[in-house]
Amino acid sequence: MKGDRMNMAKKAFTLVELLVVIAIIGVLIGLLLPAVQSAREAARRANCTNNLKQMGLGMHNFATARKERFPPGRVKQSNFKTVGWSSFFLDFMEQSQLQATWDAVADPDVASGDSRLYLAANFIDKINENATHTKIPTYLCPSTAREDSTRRNGFIVTAGQYEGMACTDYFGNAGPNHNEPQFLKPNGDRYEEHSGVLLRKNADNLDGGTRFSQITDGLSKTVVVCEITGSGLRGGSNNSARGVWASGLNCSEIGHNNSTPAIINPDPSDVWKEVNTPLLSDHPSGASVLMCDGSVHFLNESTDKNIVTGLMSKNCGEIVSVD
């Protein structure tokens, strides 16, 4: 019996040994968690890249059918609220049920199952509710963790005419901020308005977009879409649907109206409430952009602001590269 007790004592853990094992396990978990988080973010960033590539493919298919023209930044008839670029090539992204149409406006009660976006109706009319309230996964970055207070889980939650509308994390590039003197062309002049590709001016029809031939800086050196994640309404007394995917207000000049915020990933408060904004993503260290040639690149937060604005202009002669 005595021998058996001695054998059992030899096989048992002492308290010190148990604490050492627990400590080792804790250290291993601590070392493993960052690697797991990094792997998850790498997958999310790859998904974001794929979103942008799908947009690029859809735009190029649109351009092929429109004599090498990108979609217009926005289309507006009479005084109804504008409809934006991301509505015009959905038939090339397997989202034809949401595609913008010039068809005569149907009776919203009769067309309750119709989710097309009617360009001949007001953006906020009931007939367009099925479309504007439908979330499009391709237009949402999977890394987005921070959202404007007017938005939650990719939908506008602020009570009013835009409540329930689905959002986007990707904005059309309208060019460098032409009002801010820190952003200058190589010759020292300020950028002109509408120096980008998806412009903040109303076209009469879908043939009113930027031609490939107008992008003289090169398709591979000019941004067409960039990340400005978490956007909702602009806020204040003049709420506008800047972060809604179907809205014509989701085109932005790039660069804040003062020289303080960084041009990539500043505090979100410097982005969500502004008309002219920096780039913003929840990817560590930078944000992704879609170039006019369909390629996708990642701009690091350390990228010089003059390189960023050079990539945003289509015809100002900057010698810049995304590499």
**Position 26 in a domain:** no
What is the band of 238 on the pLDDT scale with cuts at 50, 70, 90? low
Do residues 61 and 89 make contact, with C-beta atoms less than 8 angstroms apart? yes
For residue 150, give the nearest of 141, 160, 136, 140 by alpha carbon. 160
pLDDT in tens, 7-27: 545 566 677 767 777 777 777
**Position 66 in a domain:** yes
H/E element, 23:
helix 15-65
**Position 8 in a domain:** no
Residues of the domain holding 299: 45-312
**Position 3 in a domain:** no
Mean pLDDT throughout 201-211?
A: 89
Q: Burial, 82: exposed, middle or buried (Cβ in 10 Å; 0-12, 13-18, 19+)?
A: buried
Q: Which of 76-80, 208-212, 317-321 has the highest mean pLDDT?
A: 208-212
Task: Pull the structure tokens for residue 295.
Answer: 């390629």
What is the band of 4 on the pLDDT scale with cuts at 50, 70, 90? low
Please report the pLDDT score of residue 124 as a whole number: 87
Please report the pLDDT score of residue 25 as a whole number: 77
Give the span between the Cα atoms of 305 and 250, in whole angstroms.
22
Domain count, the chain: 1
**Position 4 in a domain:** no
User: What mean pLDDT, rounded, does the chain reach?
Assistant: 88
Mean pLDDT throughout 190-215?
A: 92
Phi, psi of 179 (to 5 degrees): -90, -15
**Position 35 in a domain:** no
**Position 27 in a domain:** no
Task: Pull the structure tokens for residue 191.
Answer: 């950028």
Give the span between the Cα atoms of 145 and 257, in whole angstroms.
25
For residue 225, give the nearest of 280, 170, 282, 286 by alpha carbon. 170
Q: In 3-state terms, what secondary structure has residue 101?
A: strand
